[in-house]
Every structure is written in structure tokens, then in C-alpha cells.
């Protein structure tokens, strides 16, 4: 395909062509960055929690009778919940659970002196719970064992801990954490590491490397406000939650169960990430809107040029150009404009990313996004120009001698 | 003349319905997206107490030790006051009104046994709260300074809570059981909530929470009631008394009516810090003491999530691309009519006339795009309102925003039409006539 006639024809419409190029460049820059942000957020919201989320439901109960014995209350409640058909396993925790935003955290150290500035200390979530919590949550023990019955205690000084692999790696880099002592809390209390689980997410996210630092102590929940974790088949969860609410009210009608704290784990995860899902939806909508408007612009302008040039197309056809040549002409013209646009757009994408890094703590845009964005825009351009170009190809040589 | 241009414009647009449709669609999408986000930002940065906010200030002290590290990153432990400092500021009485406060979440035990116990959010505060913020009372009144000193078990209820508990009966004089204690109802306020809830602690949901009850701060401290908000302590001890001097948890607001009062209060805060430093209680420079105005405090607190700002930039970028698109399309459209232009020019139309003619055509497109854009923005806001984010439900378009949407659309498209119109009016009459076929 000879480029010269196309370029000289574009020179006649230099300003219009430049504007279209600018539009393609801006679209390319914005869409590359938006795609990057979407993929990052999708990564964020699919962070693994280490628990069997699709089989779990949680119900929070607050007792109003302060004279109740918490241990007896939990025993009775757990028995009542276990009796619900479809419930495979159940455990009580004080309040903290992965992604439920109710963190209980502090320093955990490999030395008896606790200091925020010490390398031997990390900030970790402290989970607790009744026996069978590890099984109920579906945690994967990669070393060691679950707590023994005599390790559980309701006082403030539990003696055993199960820690996440991430915490084990940070506290004891390159060593085996199993059987070691760790220190936490006011005492400081010494705990024996009896087990390591593959993954256990914190109640909130804390940036790369910080979100998986957690441990479970052998402490029994010790107030009459607690959260019950129920495990059942995924399809049974709604029914189980309903039955659980009824069972808990039946045993103590004065307790408070707020509907917003009766949730399946799917709901807990969705609630935690709802702002991110809003953003993902908005990003995708704006990117699609941009691509749509750009496609409209390309198609609209091509359509216009075809109409404007009907006569010259007719002349070209009369002197021997095939339909294919005409089609190719408009496709190549579009390729030229869009290619100039995306080359400019890739540079703009990097500039935009630098600005976003400065103001919104975004990481650097991986360079491989650029060619993908460029190819996508080229494809969009070709698709948009196809109809007008085919219309041009249908122009007959007779048009050459027709009036305007 | 404008009427004639309007006719010409409508004629021309009717001749190319597809292209016109594309331009109107592009501008309405751009305008709709930007106005959705601008409206969200507008309602989020709105004045929570119009008419009063100009005189409201919040003082801040820095009682932290020199070496203080928090396990909770990104949280300023000196954002709240300690009990002794708040009481000293109250007792000093240097402002027209002053009140200390903290959020609380209590169990409400209805006397009516048909109702189950439930949780309610409220505020522990001191007597000036109601007059300073202009809380409207439906029945009764707030409490007095002797109730504050004694920590009297009295409570002011919001209308909806009073109605839930007592139906249509008079609530004044009735007793309410909150956690494990009985409080006597002395007042009922209208359901009142500034948006954002500027006086709440940083942990609050500023666009969603509201106060259902108000009770004296001293009563809350006596009963060690749960505080719903950040509590930061820098001495590890088994002492969990809320009145201890090493625990920050209180918000404090003052009303200062004149600039002189404001300046005097600033000095007072520095002097107070200086005095505490000489007593050995404070360690950090007295110049850390600050006085924020209400709007200044909201800006400092940065309640607008960075996501919302990012969305706004994205929407504005989108609008810009739409405008470039329209410039290109208008340019092609106007230049195609070179024949018409040259005939009009040959018949005596001045360049200015041509310019105005095409300007009118751009404005017509803008107005259509704006009207459609309002619909797109309403759709956008509707979908924002259906998100569970705490700010979502306030996203509504008011009349000024509606008018500015239309104005923005017209301005944007007239701007977009400037370059094409200028190019069109520089068409030379003779040359074009000769060329015309």
C-alpha cells in the first residue's frame, strides 16, 4: 500500500486528524492506567484468608445479663447451635475474625522485652476461640498440632499459640518456629508455639507483608459478648443463620443480636471490599465509556470523510482501483492516525502514572500494559472504521461523473 | 439574528442526525460522569452547620511524651484530649460556649417487654453542647452545670428513639435503662444530624452515624461506659480509669464570636501548654497547641476518601476526551460546509456573523448534551446511592448543581466549537466559490 497519497490527503485535514490522534492518545493513556488500577484492586479483593469462607457463617451475640457465667453460656449456646441440622462444626471467638474489621492486635516478640522498635517484635493479630476453632475455620495446619484440651484457659495468660506461616517466617527467619517461645501482652506472657497454619488473614488489611501476621492463642472467650462461627454446606448457610438466631434467642431472649452482624462469610468479604468493588465498577464503566466515545469519534469522522470524498473515490475506481484498494485505503489511513495516537498515548500513560504515584500511592505501571493497550486501541480503530470503509468501497465509478 | 442562526443550526443538525446524535451522546456521557462525581464531592464538602460553623473551633493540645510510638499506624494519638485537659479548658471558660464530648454505644433496655434490648449510638457531653450547636428541642431541655459536676443520671433522647421507646406518650420524666443504669429523660430533640458529623472522633462513620441520645460526660466517666471511638494511651498500666491523664479520648469544641476572641483563645492554649510543660506533664513544645476552625478541621481530617478524588479526576479526564472528540467532529462538519460559508460571505456576511452562526450551533448541541447529561448524572447518582458506602446516601443533586450541569455542558461545547468556528469563518469567499462543483 502506497502511503504517500494517504499522508498528503491527511495533510488537507491536518487539524482534524491531529485532534483524532490526540483523542486516541488520551484514551490510550487513561485506559492503560485504569486497567492497571482495576487489576490491582481485583488482586486486593481476592486475597486469600486461609479459611473455608464458602462454608462459614458468623453470628454475633451480646448478652445483657452481666451475671451470667460466660463459660457456661458458651457451652450451652454451642450445644444448641451444634444441634441445628446441617451444622457440621461450631466454635465461639471473642470478636476478631479474618476481614471482619474487629481487630485485636499488639506486639509479639521472640524476646521477653517488648518494644515497637525491636527487630524481634512484630505487630500481629491475636485471635482466640473455643476448642475446634481450627477445624471449624478449615485452617490448614502445615506443622504441629491443634491445642490440647488442657491448654485452653479463660484467664488472661494462655500458654500456647498457633501462628501463621507468615508470622513464623518473620519472627524466626530461616528457622523452625515450632516449639519456640513467643512473648506478648502486658505480662509479658510467654507462649509456646504448638502449630503453624498456612494462611490466616488479619481482620483488616495492612499492606504487603502485614496482612497475614496473625496468631491464635489458647485463650477461651471470656465475656458474654461473642461471635459464633458455624460451618455448613454452602447452600445451607442462610437457613443455618436463621435457625441459629432463633436458637440463641430461645435460650436467652434478653441478648442482643443485631441483623447486620448475622452474616455469611461471603457477605463479610463483600462488606470489607465494597469500596473496592465500587471503584472497580466505576473504573470499568469509565474505561468502556472512553473506548466507546473514541470509537464513535473514529467512526463518525471516517463516515464523514467517505461522504466528502465520494467523487474522488469514484474517480479512483474509474481509473482502475478495486473495491479492495478503497477499503485498504481507509483502513491504512485509520492505522496511521491510531498508531501515531498510541505512540503518543504510551508516553502519556507513563506521565499519568507518575502523577498518580505521587498523589495516590500507586505503584509503577508495568511496561507490558502499554503494548496491550496499544493493540487494543488499534483493534478498536480498525473495527470502528470497518463500516465506513466498506461503504466507501461500494462507491461505483459512476460517481466520478455525477454532480456533488 | 440569533433566532435566524438558531433556525440555521437546527436545519444543519437535522441534515446530519447521526453525527449530531454522536456529538450529543459524547457530551452527555462526559458531562454526566463529571457531574456525578462533582455532586458527590459537593455534598461531602458541604458545610455541616450553615450559619454556625463560622464561629465553631476545636482546640488541640499535644500531651504525648517525646518518645511515643503507636502500634496503630497512621493514627494521631493527640487528635483527642485527655480528661484533665478537657476539664481544665471547660473550667477556664474562655469561650462563649464550650463542650467536651465522646461517642458512646449503649444497650437500651425498653420497659415495654414487647421490644427486645438493642444498641443505640449517642454522645457523652457537657451542657453547652445543645446551645453551641443549636440542637432543636421538641420537648424539655438540656441539663445544667450542676448535673455536669454531679454526673447526674439524666438523658436527652432523639425523637426517633423516644418514639421507639414511649410511642406517642410524653417522654419527659420517664426512665430509660442504658447498659445497667437508669437515666431520667429531661429532653427530646428533633432528629438532628450535621453531615458530616464533624464533632465525632476519626473512627466514626461521618456521613452515616447519628446521635440517638445525649448524657452527661461525668456520668459516663463514673460508670466507665464504653467509648465508641479511638482511645490512645501511652503508659502501660492496669489503671483503666477514663479520667487518667495519659489517655486521649475526648473531642472538644468552642464557640468564638470575634477574631479577637479567636486570637485570645489561641494564646490561652499556648499558655496552658506552657504551664503544663513547666509542671512536667507536657514534654512537647507549647507551639503544638492548635485551634482549628470547623471547615479547617474537616480539611485537616480529610474526610473525603482519596478514592472519591480519583473518581473525580477520572471523570474530568473523560469529559476532556469527549470534548476533543466533539472538536474534531464539529471541525469536520463545519469545514464540509465551506460552500455554504463562501456563499454567505460573498453575499456580505462578515466573519463575525459566521462565527456567531457556528457558535449558536455548538451551543445547541451543548444544551441537548447537557439535558441528556443531567439524566446520565441522575442515573449515576442513583447508582452511587445504592452503594453501601457511608457517604453514598447523601449523593443527591440540588438545584445549583443541576443548573451548573447545564451551564458546564453549554460552556464546554461552545469552547469545543470555538476552534472549528474560527476555522470556518476564515474560509475565503472567492476561492471556495470557484472550487465548488
In sequence order, which residues have a C-beta less than 8 Å from that of residue B115 and are 6 or more positions away? B164, B165
Q: Are residues B93 and B231 in the same domain?
A: yes
- Sign of dihedral through CA atoms B372, B373, B379, B382? negative
* Cβ neighbours of residue B337 closer than 8 Å, sequence gap 6 or more: B12, B424
Choose, out of B37, B179, B317, the residue to mutate when testing the contact with A (most A CBs < 10 Å): B317
CA–CA gap between residue B14 and residue B361 (Å, rounded) = 11
Helix (H) or strand (E) holding A224: none
Q: Under an 8 A CB cutoff, do A62 and B119 touch?
A: yes
CB contact under 8 A, A300 and B238: no
Same domain, B61 and B32: no
Q: Does residue B387 share a domain with residue B267?
A: no
Question: Which chain B residue's Cα is nearest to A13?
Answer: B332
Under an 8 A CB cutoff, do B325 and A296 touch? yes
Contact A274 B305 (CB under 8 A): no
Distance from CA of B133 to the nearest CA of A (A): 31
Q: What is the pLDDT of residue A360?
A: 80
A-chain residue closest to B389, CA distance: A275
- Most A CBs within 10 Å, among B204, B238, B325, B386, to test the A interface: B325
Sorted by sequence, the CB contacts under 8 Å of residue B179 that are 6+ apart come out as: B106, B107, B223, B225, B226
Distance between CA atoms of residues B20 and B209, nearest Å: 47
- Top residue of B315, B318, B426 to mutate, by most chain A CBs within 10 Å, is B318
Same domain? B370 vs B351:
yes
B255 and B400 within one domain: no
DSSP, collapsed to helix, strand or coil, labels residue A188 as coil
For residue A188, cis peptide bond before it (omega within 30 degrees of 0):
yes
ipTM of the complex in this document: 0.81
3-state secondary structure chain B: CHHHHHHHHHHHHHHCHHHHHHHHHHHHHHHHHHHHHHHHHHHHCCCCCCCCHHHEEEEECCCCCCCCCCCCCCCCHHHCEEHHHHHHHHHHCCCCEEEEEEEEEEEEECCCCCCCCEEEEEEEECCHHHHHHCCCEEEECCCCHHHHHHCCCEEEEEHHHHHHHHCCCCCCCCEEEECCEEEEEEEEECCCCCCCCCCCCCCCCCCCCCCCEEEEHHHHHHHCCCECCCCEECCCCCCCCCCCCCEEEEEEEEECCCHHHHHHHHHHHHHHHHHHHHCCCCCCCHHHCEEEEHHHHHHHHCCCCHHHHHHHHHHHHHHHHHHHHHHHHHHHHHHHCHHHHHHHHHCCCCHHHHHHHHHHHHHHHHHHHHHHHHHHHHHHHHHHHCCCCCCHHHCCCCHHHHHHHHHHHHHHHHHHHHHHHHHHHCCCHHHHHHHCC
Angstroms from A292 CA to nearest CA on chain B: 9
* Same domain, yes or no: B144 and B276: yes
Choose among B124, B143, B141, B142: nearest CA to B223: B124
Q: Which residues pair with B290 in a beta bridge?
A: B60
**CB of A134 closer than 8 Å to CB of A212:** no
Report the chain A residue with the minimal C-alpha distance to residue B338.
A308
Candidate from B320, B389, B437 with C-beta closest to A278: B389
Q: Which domain, by its residues, includes B406?
A: 2-45+305-435
Tens digits of residue pLDDT in B80-123: 999 999 999 999 999 999 999 999 999 999 987 788 899 999 99
**Are B201 and B276 part of one and the same domain?**
yes
Residues of chain B with C-beta less than 8 angstroms from the C-beta of A20: 328
B303-319 tens-digit pLDDT: 777 788 888 888 889 88
What residues does A93 pair with on adjacent strands?
A227
Q: Which of B286, B301, B316 is the last residue of a domain?
A: B301
On whether both B333 and B236 belong to a single domain, the answer is: no
Whether A107 and B328 lie within 8 Å, measured CB to CB: no
Nearest-neighbour CA in chain B from A164: distance (Å): 20
Largest Cα–Cα separation, chain A: 102
What is chain B's length?
A: 437
Nearest C-alpha in A relative to B333: A304
DSSP string, A270-333: HHHTHHHHHHHHHHHHHHHHHHHHHHHHHHHHHHHHHHHTHHHHHHHHHTT--HHHHHHHHHHH
Percent of chain B past pLDDT 90, that is, above it, reads 39
* B279 Cβ contact partners less than 8 Å away, ≥ 6 residues apart: none
Please tell me the predicted confidence (pLDDT) of residue A377: 94
Question: Is A403's CB within 8 Å of B118's CB?
Answer: no
B305 and A305 within 8 Å at the Cβ level: the answer is no
The shortest CB-CB distance from B328 to any of A23, A66, A107 is to A23
A8: which 3 cell numbers? 498528503
pLDDT-based confidence at B71, cuts 50/70/90?
low
What grid cell was written down for A391? 461503504
Q: Which pTM was predicted?
A: 0.83
Contact present, A154 and A220 (Cβ < 8 Å):
yes
CB contact under 8 A, B71 and A107: yes
Residue with cell 466520478: A400
Q: What are A379's three cell numbers?
A: 483493534
> What is the enclosing helix (H) or strand (E) of A167?
helix A165-171
User: Cell 461545547 identifies what position?
Assistant: B413
CA dihedral B80, B85, B88, B94 (to 10 degrees): -40
State the pLDDT at residue B148. Answer: 94
B437 vs A311: CB contact, 8 Å cut-off?
Answer: yes
CA-closest candidate to residue A276, choices A40, A36, A35: A40
Instruction: Sort out which chain B residues have CB atoms less than 8 A from A289's CB and list them.
Output: 29, 33, 318
Check A293 against B29: CB less than 8 A apart.
yes
pLDDT (tens digit, 9 = 90+) per residue, B321-370? 988 888 888 888 887 787 788 888 888 888 888 888 888 888 888 888 88
Q: Mind telling me how many Å the CA of A23 is from chain B's nearest CA?
A: 6
CA distance B170 to B190: 14
Cβ–Cβ < 8 Å for B111, B177: yes
Instruction: Give first-to-last CA distance, chain B, whole Å.
Output: 30
pLDDT in tens, B8-35: 888 888 888 878 888 888 889 888 888 8
**Residue among A318, A304, A319 at smallest CA distance from A392:** A304
Q: Which residue has the cell 502506497?
A: A2
Task: Identify whether residues B359 and B340 lie together within a single domain.
Answer: yes
Backbone region of residue A207 per phi and psi (left: phi > 0; alpha: psi in -120 to 50; beta: other values): left
Say if the Cβ atoms of A403 and B236 lie within 8 Å.
no
Q: Are residues B266 and B340 in the same domain?
A: no
Q: Which of A16, A116, A186 sits opposite B331 (nearest CB)?
A: A16
The answer to whether the beta carbons of residues A54 and A266 sit under 8 Å apart is yes
CB atoms B19 and A15 under 8 Å: no
Q: Does B310 lie in the same domain as B289?
A: no
- What's the DSSP call for residue A198? S
Q: Is the dihedral of CA A270, A271, A273, A276 positive or negative?
A: positive
Residue that finishes a domain, picked among B235, B269, B301: B301
Pairwise CA distance, residues B58 & B142, whole Å = 22
Last residue of a domain, one of B301, B327, B362: B301
Specify the pLDDT at position B182. Answer: 95
Residues B207 and B170 occupy one common structural domain = yes
Residues of chain A with C-beta less than 8 angstroms from the C-beta of B180: 66
The pLDDT assigned to B268 comes to 96
Dihedral angle sign, alpha carbons of residues B123, B125, B127, B128 = negative
State pLDDT tens for residues B202-237.
888 888 778 999 999 999 999 999 898 888 888 766
Contacts of A62 in chain B (CB under 8 A): 107, 119
Residues of A in contact with B311 (CB under 8 A): 279, 282
What is the reported pLDDT for B437?
Answer: 44
Minimal Cβ distance to A297: which of B117, B236, B325:
B325
Contact (Cβ atoms closer than 8 angstroms) between residue A189 and residue A126? no
Q: Per mean pLDDT, which of A270-279, B272-281, B407-416 is the most reliable? A: B272-281
Write out chain A residues lying below 8 Å of B419, CB-based.
Answer: 15
- The per-residue pLDDT for B345 is 83
Among A250-264, B37-51, B128-142, B313-327, the range scoring the smallest mean pLDDT is: B37-51
Residue bearing cell 473495527 = A383
Distance of CA A207 to the CA centre of its chain: 13
Which residue in chain A has the smallest CA separation from B387?
A278
Average pLDDT for runs of 10 along chain A of length 404: 77 85 94 93 92 96 87 94 96 95 88 80 92 96 94 89 96 93 77 95 88 94 94 96 95 91 95 88 89 90 84 88 90 93 95 89 88 94 92 85 63
Shortest CA distance from A301: residue in chain B? B329
Count of structural domains within chain B = 2
B435 pLDDT higher than 60:
no
Q: What is the DSSP letter of A398?
A: G
Amino acid at each position: 500500500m502506497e502511503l504517500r497519497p494517504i499522508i498528503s490527503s491527511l495533510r488537507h485535514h491536518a487539524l482534524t486528524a491531529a485532534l483524532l490522534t490526540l483523542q486516541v492518545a488520551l484514551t490510550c493513556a487513561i485506559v492503560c492506567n485504569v486497567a492497571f488500577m482495576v487489576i490491582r484492586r481485583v488482586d486486593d479483593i481476592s486475597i486469600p484468608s486461609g479459611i473455608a469462607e464458602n462454608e462459614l457463617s458468623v453470628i454475633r451475640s451480646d448478652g445483657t445479663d452481666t451475671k451470667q457465667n460466660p463459660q457456661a453460656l458458651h457451652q450451652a449456646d454451642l450445644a444448641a447451635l451444634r444441634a441445628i441440622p446441617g451444622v457440621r462444626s461450631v466454635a465461639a471467638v471473642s470478636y476478631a475474625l479474618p476481614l471482619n474489621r474487629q481487630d485485636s492486635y499488639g506486639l509479639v516478640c521472640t524476646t521477653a522485652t517488648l518494644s515497637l522498635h525491636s527487630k524481634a517484635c512484630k505487630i500481629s493479630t491475636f485471635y482466640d476461640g473455643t476448642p475446634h476453632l481450627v477445624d471449624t475455620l478449615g485452617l490448614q495446619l502445615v506443622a504441629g498440632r491443634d491445642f490440647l484440651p488442657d491448654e485452653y484457659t479463660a484467664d488472661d495468660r494462655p500458654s500456647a499459640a498457633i501462628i501463621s506461616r507468615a508470622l513464623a517466617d518473620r519472627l524466626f527467619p530461616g528457622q523452625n518456629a515450632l516449639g519456640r517461645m513467643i512473648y506478648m501482652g502486658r505480662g509479658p506472657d510467654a507462649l509456646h508455639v504448638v502449630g503453624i497454619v498456612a494462611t490466616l488473614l488479619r481482620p483488616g488489611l495492612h499492606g504487603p507483608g502485614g496482612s497475614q501476621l496473625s496468631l491464635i492463642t489458647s485463650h477461651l472467650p471470656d465475656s458474654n459478648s461473642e461471635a459464633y462461627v458455624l460451618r455448613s454446606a454452602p447452600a445451607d448457610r442462610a437457613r443455618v443463620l436463621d435457625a441459629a438466631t432463633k436458637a440463641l434467642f430461645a435460650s436467652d431472649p434478653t441478648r442482643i443480636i443485631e441483623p447486620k452482624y448475622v452474616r455469611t462469610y461471603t457477605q463479610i468479604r463483600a462488606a470489607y471490599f465494597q469500596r473496592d468493588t465500587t471503584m472497580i465498577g466505576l473504573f470499568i464503566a469509565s474505561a468502556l465509556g472512553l473506548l466507546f466515545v473514541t470509537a464513535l469519534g473514529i467512526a463518525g469522522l471516517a463516515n464523514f470523510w467517505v461522504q466528502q470524498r465520494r467523487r474522488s473515490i469514484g474517480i479512483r475506481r474509474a481509473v482502475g482501483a478495486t473495491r479492495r484498494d478503497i477499503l485498504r485505503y481507509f483502513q491504512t489511513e485509520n492505522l496511521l492516525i491510531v498508531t501515531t495516537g498510541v505512540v503518543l498515548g504510551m508516553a502519556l500513560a507513563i506521565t499519568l502514572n507518575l502523577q498518580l504515584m505521587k498523589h495516590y500511592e500507586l505503584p509503577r505501571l508495568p511496561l507490558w500494559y502499554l503494548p496491550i493497550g496499544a493493540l487494543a486501541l488499534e483493534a478498536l480503530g480498525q473495527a470502528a472504521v470497518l463500516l465506513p470503509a466498506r461503504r466507501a468501497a461500494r462507491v461505483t465509478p459512476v460517481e466520478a461523473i455525477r454532480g456533488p | 439574528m440569533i433566532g435566524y442562526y438558531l433556525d440555521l443550526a437546527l436545519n444543519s443538525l437535522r441534515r446530519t442526525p447521526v453525527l449530531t446524535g454522536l456529538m450529543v451522546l459524547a457530551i452527555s456521557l462526559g458531562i454526566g460522569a463529571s457531574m456525578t462525581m462533582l455532586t458527590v464531592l459537593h455534598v461531602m464538602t458541604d458545610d455541616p452547620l450553615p450559619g454556625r460553623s463560622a464561629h465553631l473551633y476545636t482546640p488541640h493540645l499535644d500531651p504525648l511524651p517525646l518518645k511515643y510510638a503507636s502500634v496503630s499506624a497512621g493514627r494521631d494519638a493527640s487528635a483527642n484530649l485527655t480528661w484533665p485537659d478537657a476539664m481544665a479548658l471547660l473550667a477556664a471558660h474562655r469561650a462563649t460556649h464550650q463542650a467536651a464530648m465522646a461517642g458512646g454505644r449503649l444497650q437500651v433496655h425498653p420497659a415495654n417487654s414487647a421490644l427486645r434490648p438493642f444498641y443505640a449510638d449517642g454522645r457523652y457531653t457537657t451542657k453547652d453542647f445543645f446551645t453551641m450547636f443549636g440542637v432543636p428541642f421538641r420537648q424539655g431541655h438540656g441539663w445544667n452545670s450542676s448535673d455536669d459536676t454531679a454526673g447526674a443520671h439524666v438523658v436527652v433522647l432523639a425523637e426517633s428513639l423516644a418514639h421507639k421507646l414511649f410511642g406517642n406518650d410524653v417522654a419527659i420524666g420517664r426512665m430509660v435503662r442504658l447498659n445497667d443504669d437508669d437515666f431520667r429523660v429531661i429532653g427530646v430533640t428533633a432528629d438532628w444530624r450535621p453531615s458530616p458529623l464533624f464533632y465525632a472522633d476519626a473512627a466514626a462513620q461521618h456521613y452515616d452515624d447519628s446521635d440517638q441520645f445525649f448524657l452527661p460526660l461525668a456520668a459516663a466517666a463514673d460508670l466507665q461506659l464504653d467509648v465508641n471511638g479511638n482511645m490512645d494511651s501511652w503508659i502501660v498500666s492496669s489503671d483503666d480509669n477514663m479520667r487518667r491523664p495519659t489517655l486521649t479520648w475526648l473531642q472538644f469544641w468552642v464557640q468564638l464570636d470575634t477574631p479577637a476572641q479567636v486570637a485570645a483563645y489561641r494564646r490561652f492554649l499556648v499558655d496552658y501548654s506552657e504551664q503544663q510543660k513547666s509542671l512536667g506533664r507536657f514534654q512537647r513544645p507549647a507551639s503544638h497547641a492548635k485551634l482549628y476552625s470547623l471547615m479547617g478541621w474537616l480539611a485537616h481530617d480529610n474526610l473525603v476518601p482519596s478514592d472519591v478524588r480519583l473518581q473525580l479526576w477520572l471523570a474530568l479526564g473523560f469529559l476532556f476526551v469527549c470534548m476533543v472528540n466533539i472538536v474534531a467532529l464539529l471541525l469536520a462538519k463545519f469545514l464540509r460546509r465551506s460552500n455554504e460559508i463562501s456563499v454567505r460571505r460573498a453575499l456580505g456576511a462578515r466573519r463575525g456573523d459566521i462565527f456567531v452562526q457556528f457558535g449558536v450551533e455548538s451551543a445547541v448541541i451543548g444544551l441537548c448534551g447537557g439535558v441528556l447529561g443531567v439524566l446520565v448524572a441522575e442515573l449515576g447518582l442513583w447508582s452511587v446511592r445504592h452503594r453501601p458506602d457511608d457517604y453514598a446516601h447523601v449523593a443527591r443533586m440540588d438545584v445549583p448543581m443541576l443548573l451548573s450541569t447545564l451551564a458546564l455542558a453549554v460552556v464546554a461545547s461552545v469552547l469545543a466549537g470555538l476552534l472549528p468556528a474560527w476555522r470556518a469563518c476564515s474560509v475565503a469567499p472567492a476561492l471556495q466559490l470557484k472550487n465548488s462543483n
